[in-house]
């Protein structure tokens, strides 16, 4: 049985990574994932904006927040929990 899609080598030294020649299907690229030379310039700025909005809890120290949380009133805790849940989940 013939495969529907021909297998490609992991690296194609005869490939062409020109922006004008890149194709998702039946393209002849080198098969390298190059994020430094993108076909659509708007995608670079969008990517940077999306990464700037991505919050990584491990990179934000919440040690003092834990201590302050103990002193909050019940309504303040509910507000804090609600806001923090949008940032984490």
- Could you state, in order of their start, the residue ranges of all structural domains in the chain? 1-53, 55-88
pLDDT averaged per 10 residues, the chain (length 89): 71 86 81 80 89 77 87 95 83
Whole-angstrom distance, CA of residue 68 vs CA of residue 77: 10
Nearest to 20 by CA among 33, 1, 39: 39
Token reading at 79: 């507000």
What is the pLDDT, as a whole number, of residue 3? 64
Distance CA 44, CA 84 (A): 29
**Per-residue model confidence (pLDDT) at position 28:** 86
- Report d(CA 63, CA 28) in Å as an integer: 52
According to the model, what pLDDT value does residue 37 have? 80
CB contact at 8 A, 29 and 16: yes
- Predicted structure pTM score: 0.39
């Amino acid at each position: 049985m013939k495969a529907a899609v021909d297998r490609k080598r992991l690296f194609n030294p005869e490939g062409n990574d020109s922006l004008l020649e890149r194709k998702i299907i039946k393209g002849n690229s080198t098969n390298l994932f190059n994020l430094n030379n993108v076909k659509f310039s708007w995608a670079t700025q969008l990517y940077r904006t999306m990464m700037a909005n991505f919050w990584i809890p491990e990179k934000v120290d919440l040690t003092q927040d834990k201590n302050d949380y103990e002193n909050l009133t019940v309504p303040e805790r509910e507000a804090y929990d609600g806001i923090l849940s949008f940032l984490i989940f």
